[in-house]
Chains A and B, each alone.
Chain A
Amino acid sequence: MSAPTTDDQARRRNEEIVRPEKPFARFRWVVTITLLVLWFGTTSTVDIELSGLAQLPERIVTYLGLMYGPPDLSVLGQAVEEMVISLGMAWIGTMIAAACSFPLGFLAAQNLSKRPTVFVARQVLNFFRAVPEIIFLILFIPIFGLQPMAVAVALGISSIGTIGKLTAEVIEGIDPGPLEAADASGGGRLQRIRWSVIPQVMPEVIALWLYRFEINIRNSAVAGAVGAGGIGTLLVRQIGQVRDFAGAGTSLAVMILITLLVDTASGRLRRRIIRGPTRSVDIGAEEPDGGHSGDGGAPAKNPIAPI
């Protein structure tokens, strides 16, 4: 039992001296008010009938019943076929993006290129990033027809921005030692890149491409908007046009399962590429410390920070 005065003193000490002041009070208020204004500003003006929202749970149950009670397995073969086409679009698209973004990544890296070059390269990357896939798709349909190829090219071109920027970030994070060594031994610009930069960045850049491939599998559904093939088109036709929900159930399940399968495989491959063979002697392979965006060196399931 201590005297109240000591207790008070201790509390005051605790509050005034030991505990540092909270730094972000003003910032917090600004954020809260902005969010509230945005929320009420948009919800009060938007043209939404709340009756639709009220019906939603019941409708979801009804339609899941239509789709999976039971699903129409006769479309299974077609669904798998279309899904593989979607994977093909995503793969070729990613290849196109990889080929185009690789040189751009070097031009956009501050430790390799001059300031004006970096600026121009970054703006080019920003341009590709800001255009939605559907726009590129519409742009490429006249050239490739309403075909999966148009989707692949559209996905590829619209991925250039993201992959290029992330490639540049990987390049900016390299160990400058080998670069200096190449300089010291009189290497030219291309030789520096070939012998000092590429060996350092390649594992991470390949992991980046694989990661983008996973994203592009999902993005390939954009083909459904215009009917350019793949699982997206099949689903839009089954659900939106012929209203064959039992068939759509099968297609949706196929899409989810194959996407998850490819994700898992690609994720394992990415980890293997970045970390090297597990449970073997460390051969001095430079452990990528996941430098970007502070996601630490820990499990690093996805070592790639967005943009």
Chain B
Amino acid sequence: MSLDASSPPKGTSARPTKPPPTAFAVLGVLGFIAITIAAGYDWTYGIAFSITEIIENFTRTNPAYEGLLNIDWTRFESEVVRQGFAETFQMATIATMLGALFGLPLALFNSVTGAPNKTVYVLVKNFNSVVRAIPDLVYAVLFVAMIGRGVLPGVLALFFLSVAVIAKLTSDTVDGVDPGPIESARASGASHLQMVRTALLPQVLPNYVSFSLYTFEINLRGSAVLGFVGAGGIGEPLNNYYQRGQYDRMWGVVVGFFLVVFLVDRISIAMRKRLL
């Protein structure tokens, strides 16, 4: 290609030709479409996406939406709902703090730099993956089966969720740290623990604290679903109202819970912005 602007005849070779799409792009798009059709189609392995059904159902009246139109705000005075809100906060706080405590070493050992040796690294990495693969609701139903209904299984479920989230996010930060301080710590004869304490931790600490706050937001939101399987929190009264079809009461609690979560999110995000 000539860089001399005057030589090429106008309109033809001045514009470089567009390169053909790569095999990766073509396969990617095809695979994407195939998966979407397979997932949406109405068969054994699909979820039966149907636009007509949506339109049909939208026009029908139903008790859930009638309840949404006359929300019952008086439920906030009831003991059950207040207890639910208190439990949700307690569960989220305890689980986040314990999760942050256990999540930090798991995050550090999840990377080659932070782990004391290869065995620990492999073990912790696989452990983290498995913990992360189980959703909070499944933890909750498991712990309810083991130790009965109540707040404790809820705390345990949120604890595992917290460990998973904090370990995952913090370990990604650990992978991306500046190797300089680590090398200088090693060069000055630091033991592994001293290296982690003086070179690695200070680099990941702001992110780690930020992720812990973020986990608190997740826990607060996540606690809503746990009550549906008997693991305490605001989900218990929600589930009761839902099962009994008392939608006016349910939406009242939902709106209250939403406002609380929204407010906590704002505060937490403002704090995280200052941290980073």
Name A residues whose Cβ lies closer than 8 Å to a Cβ of B: 35, 38-39, 42-43, 45-49, 52-53, 55-56, 59-60, 62-63, 81, 84-85, 87-89, 91-92, 95, 126-127, 129-135, 138-139, 141-145, 147-149, 151-152, 218-222, 224-226, 229, 232, 235-236, 239-240, 243, 245, 252, 255-256, 259-260, 263, 272-273, 277, 290, 293-302, 306-307
- Give chain A nearest CB distance to B170 CB in angstroms: 10
- Give chain B nearest CB distance to A293 CB in angstroms: 6
Contacting residue for A255 out of B89, B134, B222, CB 8 A? B134
On whether the beta carbons of A302 and B172 are closer than 8 Å, the reply is: yes
The CA of A299 and the CA of B177, in the complex, are separated in Å by 10
Contacting residue for A52 out of B62, B152, B222, CB 8 A? B152
Main SS at interface, chain A: helix
- Give chain A nearest CB distance to B179 CB in angstroms: 8
Contacting residue for A306 out of B135, B214, B239, CB 8 A? B214
Interfacial chain B residues near A222, Cβ < 8 Å: 135, 137, 225
15 A-B residue pairs with Cβ-Cβ distance under 8 Å, sorted by A, are A38-B97, A92-B36, A126-B262, A130-B258, A130-B265, A131-B261, A132-B224, A134-B228, A151-B47, A218-B132, A220-B135, A224-B138, A224-B141, A273-B28, A296-B177
- Give chain A nearest CB distance to B57 CB in angstroms: 5
The CA of A226 and the CA of B228, in the complex, are separated in Å by 8
For B116-139 the 0/1 string (1 means CB < 8 A from A) is: 000000000000011011111110
On whether the beta carbons of B261 and A130 are closer than 8 Å, the reply is: yes
The CA of A135 and the CA of B227, in the complex, are separated in Å by 13
On whether the beta carbons of B93 and A236 are closer than 8 Å, the reply is: no
Chain B CB within 10 Å, residue with most, of A39, A147, A240: A240
Known: A87-B39, A88-B45, A134-B224. A221 touches B137 (CB 8 A): yes
B139 and chain A: residue at smallest CB distance? A221
User: In which size bucket is the chain B interface?
Assistant: 35 or more
Interfacial chain B residues near A220, Cβ < 8 Å: 135
On whether the beta carbons of A131 and B147 are closer than 8 Å, the reply is: no
On whether the beta carbons of A298 and B39 are closer than 8 Å, the reply is: no
On whether the beta carbons of A45 and B90 are closer than 8 Å, the reply is: yes
Interfacial chain A residues near B48, Cβ < 8 Å: 147-149
B178 and chain A: residue at smallest CB distance? A296
Known: A48-B152, A63-B146, A259-B133. A84 touches B45 (CB 8 A): yes
Sorted from nearest, which 5 A-B pairs have the closest CB atoms? A225-B228, A221-B135, A88-B39, A296-B176, A148-B47
**B267: interface (CB < 8 Å):** no
The CA of A277 and the CA of B23, in the complex, are separated in Å by 11
Interfacial chain A residues near B138, Cβ < 8 Å: 221, 224, 232, 235-236, 252, 255
For B43-60 the 0/1 string (1 means CB < 8 A from A) is: 011111110011001100
- Give chain A nearest CB distance to B91 CB in angstroms: 8
A63-B146, A127-B262, A129-B265 given; 15 more Cβ-contact pairs under 8 Å: A45-B90, A53-B152, A88-B46, A92-B36, A134-B225, A138-B254, A139-B64, A145-B57, A149-B49, A152-B49, A218-B133, A236-B229, A295-B207, A302-B168, A306-B214
**B8: interface (CB < 8 Å):** no
The CA of A59 and the CA of B181, in the complex, are separated in Å by 45
The CA of A94 and the CA of B148, in the complex, are separated in Å by 35
A232 and chain B: residue at smallest CB distance? B137
The CA of A226 and the CA of B242, in the complex, are separated in Å by 10
Interfacial chain A residues near B22, Cβ < 8 Å: 277
The CA of A295 and the CA of B94, in the complex, are separated in Å by 28
B207 and chain A: residue at smallest CB distance? A293
A149 and chain B: residue at smallest CB distance? B47
On whether the beta carbons of B150 and A47 are closer than 8 Å, the reply is: yes
Interfacial chain A residues near B130, Cβ < 8 Å: 256, 260
Interfacial chain B residues near A42, Cβ < 8 Å: 89-90, 93-94
Interfacial chain A residues near B148, Cβ < 8 Å: 52
On whether the beta carbons of A235 and B97 are closer than 8 Å, the reply is: no
B58 and chain A: residue at smallest CB distance? A143
On whether the beta carbons of B225 and A38 are closer than 8 Å, the reply is: no
- Give chain B nearest CB distance to A296 CB in angstroms: 4
- Give chain A nearest CB distance to B20 CB in angstroms: 14
The CA of A28 and the CA of B80, in the complex, are separated in Å by 38
On whether the beta carbons of A306 and B150 are closer than 8 Å, the reply is: no
On whether the beta carbons of A88 and B144 are closer than 8 Å, the reply is: no
Known: A91-B36, A148-B47, A240-B141. A38 touches B93 (CB 8 A): yes
- Give chain A nearest CB distance to B236 CB in angstroms: 12
Known: A48-B151, A126-B262, A296-B178. A63 touches B145 (CB 8 A): yes
Interfacial chain B residues near A60, Cβ < 8 Å: 146
- Give chain B nearest CB distance to A227 CB in angstroms: 10
Known: A240-B145, A259-B133. A49 touches B45 (CB 8 A): no
- Give chain B nearest CB distance to A212 CB in angstroms: 14
The CA of A147 and the CA of B265, in the complex, are separated in Å by 31
Chain B CB within 10 Å, residue with most, of A219, A232, A272, A307: A307
For B64-99 the 0/1 string (1 means CB < 8 A from A) is: 110000000000000000000011011101100100
